Amino acid sequence: MCGITGYIHFNRERIVDPTTIRKMNDIISHRGPDGEGFYTENNIALGHRRLSIIDLSTGDQPMYSLDNQLVIVFNGEIYNYIELREELLIEGFTFKTDSDTEVILNAYLHWGIECQNKFNGMWAFALYDKRKEELFISRDRIGEKPLHYSIFDDTFIFGSEMKSLFQYGIPKNERHELLEIYLTLTNIPAPNTFFDGVFKLMPGHFILVKNGTFSEHKYWDLPEIDENNMLSDKKLIYNKFEELLDDSVKIRMRSDVSFGAFLSGGLDSSSIVGLMSKHTNKPINTFTIGFEDKAFDESKLAQDVATKFGTKHFLGTVNPEQFDEILNRTAFHYDEPFGDSSAIPTGYVSKFAAENVKMVLTGDGGDEVLSGYKSYQGIKLSNLINQFPSPLINFAIGSNTVVSKLSKGKIRYKFNKINNILQTSQLEFVPRMAQKMAYTDLNQIKKMTSTLPNKITVEEYMSDIMSKSTYKDDFYKMMYLDFKHELPNDYLVKVDRMSMAYSLEARVPFLDHRLIEFMVQVDKNVKMQGWERKSVLRNSIGKMLPESILNAPKKGFGVPLREWFKDGAYNSFLENNLKNINEILDKKIINSIVNQNNTGQKDNGNFIWGMIMLNKIME
Instruction: Name beta bridge partners: 152.
Output: 155
Residue 204 near residue 122, CB atoms below 8 Å: no
In this structure, the number of other CB atoms found within 10 A of the CB of residue 274 comes to: 22
CB 199 within 8 A of CB 607: no
Q: Which of 1, 2, 84, 421 is catalytic?
A: 2
Quickly count: other Cβ atoms within 10 Å of residue 316's Cβ: 17
Q: Are 542 and 590 found together in one domain?
A: no
How many domains does the chain fold into?
3
Residue 48 belongs to some domain of the structure: yes
Instruction: Give pLDDT, residue 565.
Output: 84
- Co-location of 157 and 297 in the same domain: no
pLDDT of 177: 98
Q: Do 283 and 136 share a domain, yes or no?
A: no
Determine, yes or no, domain membership for 128: yes
Say yes or no: 253 and 110 in one domain: no
| Average pLDDT score over the chain | 91
- Where in the sequence is the domain holding 619, given as residue range(s)? 560-619
The answer to whether residue 363 sits within a structural domain is yes
Q: Are residues 145 and 22 in the same domain?
A: yes
Does residue 446 fall inside a structural domain?
A: no
Final residue of a domain: which of 504, 528, 551?
Answer: 551
User: Is 24 in the same domain as 136?
Assistant: yes
Could you say which of 551, 573, 603 is where a domain stops? 551
pLDDT per residue as tens digits for the range 404-457: 555 655 665 565 666 566 666 668 899 999 999 999 999 999 999 999 999 999
Are 353 and 252 found together in one domain? yes
247 in helix, strand or coil? helix
Which residue, 168, 185, 218, sits at the end of a domain? 218
pLDDT at 1: 62
pTM (2 decimals)? 0.93
User: Do the domain assignments include residue 451?
Assistant: no
Q: Given CA atoms 530, 535, 539, 545 in this order, what sign does their dihedral have?
A: negative
Q: Which residues pair with 532 in a beta bridge?
A: 529
Convert the pLDDT of each residue in 155-180 to its tens digit: 999 999 999 999 999 999 999 999 99
Does the annotation count 2 as an active-site position? yes
**211 and 314 in one domain?**
no
Asked if pLDDT for residue 65 goes beyond 70, the answer is yes
Indicate whether 80 and 61 sit together in one domain.
yes
Q: pLDDT tens for residues 282-321?
A: 999 999 988 776 666 678 999 999 999 999 999 988 776 6
| Residue 224 belongs to a domain | no
Q: What is the pLDDT of residue 257?
A: 87
Q: If you average pLDDT over residues 115-127, what whole number do you get?
A: 98
For residue 392, pLDDT over 60 is answered with no
| pLDDT band at residue 212 using 50, 70 and 90 as cut-offs | very high
Same domain, 491 and 347: yes
Tell me: the pLDDT tens digits for 81-102?
Answer: 999 999 999 999 999 999 999 9
547: domain CATH number?
3.40.50.620
The answer to whether residues 62 and 200 belong to one domain is yes
Same domain assignment for residues 579 and 503: no
Q: Would you say residue 231 lies in a domain?
A: no
pLDDT reported for residue 324: 79
pLDDT one-digit tens code per residue, 461-471 = 999 999 999 99
Q: Give me the CATH number covering residue 153.
A: 3.60.20.10
